[in-house]
Amino acid sequence: MNAPIVSFNHVGKSFDVDGFELEAIREFNLDIAEGEFVAIVGSSGCGKSTLLRLLVGLDTQYRGHITVDGKAVTGIGGERGIVFQEHRLFPWLTVADNIGLGLVNEPLSAEQKHKRVDDFIDLVGLKDFTRAYPHQLSGGMAQRVAIARGLVASPRILLLDEPFGALDALTRQQMQDELLAIRSRAKITTILVTHDVEEAIFLADRVVVMEPRPGRIKQVVDIALPHPRQRSSFDFHQLREELLHELTADGHYQPPVQVQVRDLPLSFIAC
Ligand SMILES: Nc1ncnc2c1ncn2[C@@H]1O[C@H](COP(=O)(O)OP(=O)(O)O)[C@@H](O)[C@H]1O
Ligand SMILES: [Mg+2]
């Protein structure tokens, strides 16, 4: 493999919970190549979101090393975009202004920002909704806005934390197709956290299976199926069975907890 774009080296993370140390991640080692699509699956609480927060630079207290292009991650940066499960759009801002938040830290003129936002509204197919407010959008549309916001600063790495988890099955499949289409245009390195094994196999080059307490890698599975992938194919089924077995074999599998939408500070969203 060429020099990895993302490297986790002996990464560990603990939280202080009521005076006790909770070890959330232990000895996480993973190199990700430029352009690669890695999915992370695992029980609720096994540290998936924490890993993304560390990589995006929202939390800089951890053991070991996380590097992007060989440089240590010390905070948020425009080359890393993130999309959360709940879209986290600001209800009082239009679609265009919500997407524009992804550019707050970019050294662009107002005109350049405007043009960039328009391009990304086009990319996610929301041209007719530029001036709409979040409450006027369906769940899938709102999530597309969140994806556009994650992409608008042209990050080289896109982090997705259960981005389609709250959508119905059909919309989820459409969003998966769109994500692949966006990726085929811009060879963006992608890390997707999902509890949906099928989604992981449909999208990823590699699937990292985590195990909980403390969160660590159980197995990394290569998905060598050519695109477009057929969910009904034999090979797809085999992989699905294999991964489901890995996830549930120890009997400790916990399904994801549905998260509540809540308001967060701007710095948390515009990264
Ligand atoms: N800010 C925090 N303070 C204390 N404990 C936390 C915090 N964030 C996460 N945790 C704990 O760390 C573990 C991993 O959490 P998380 O990364 O959210 O898991 P996942 O995304 O895989 O469900 C869980 O036990 C969770 O309760
Ligand atoms: Mg999570």
271 residues of the chain, pLDDT tens digit each: 678 999 999 999 999 999 999 999 999 999 999 999 999 999 999 999 999 999 999 999 999 999 999 999 999 888 999 999 888 999 999 999 999 999 998 999 999 999 999 999 998 899 999 999 999 999 999 999 999 999 999 899 999 999 998 888 998 999 899 899 888 877 899 999 998 999 999 999 999 999 999 999 999 999 999 999 999 999 999 999 999 999 988 887 887 766 543 333 344 443 3
Count of alpha carbons within 13 angstroms of residue 18, beta-carbon side: 0
Q: Which atom of ligand 1 is nearest to the CA of 42?
A: 22
Pocket probe for ligand 1: among 11, 22, 213, the residue whose CB has the most ligand atoms within 8 Å is: 22
Domain 35-63+74-249 has CATH 3.40.50.11290: no
Ligand nearest to the CA of 254: 1
Which protein residues touch ligand 1 with a CB less than 6 Å away? 15, 17, 22, 24, 42, 44-50, 215
> Residue 35 burial (CB < 10 Å; 0-12/13-18/19+)?
middle
With both helix axes pointing from N to C terminus, report the angle between 139-151 and 169-185 in degrees, rounded to the nearest 10.
20
162 CA from centroid of ligand 2 (Å):
7
Segments making up each domain of the chain, as ranges: 35-63+74-249
Q: How far is the CA of 51 from the centre of ligand 1 (A)?
A: 10
Token readout for 220 is 């990394």
pLDDT at 198: 96
Q: Which atom of ligand 1 is nearest to the CA of 257?
A: 23
Q: Which ligand is nearest to the CA of 61?
A: 1
Using the mean position of ligand 1's atoms as its centre, give its distance from the Cα of residue 111 in Å.
40
Residue 13 CA, closest ligand 1 atom number: 12
What is the number of the ligand closest to the CA of 161? 2
Instruction: Give the pLDDT score at 265.
Output: 38
pLDDT at 9: 98
pLDDT of residue 258: 61
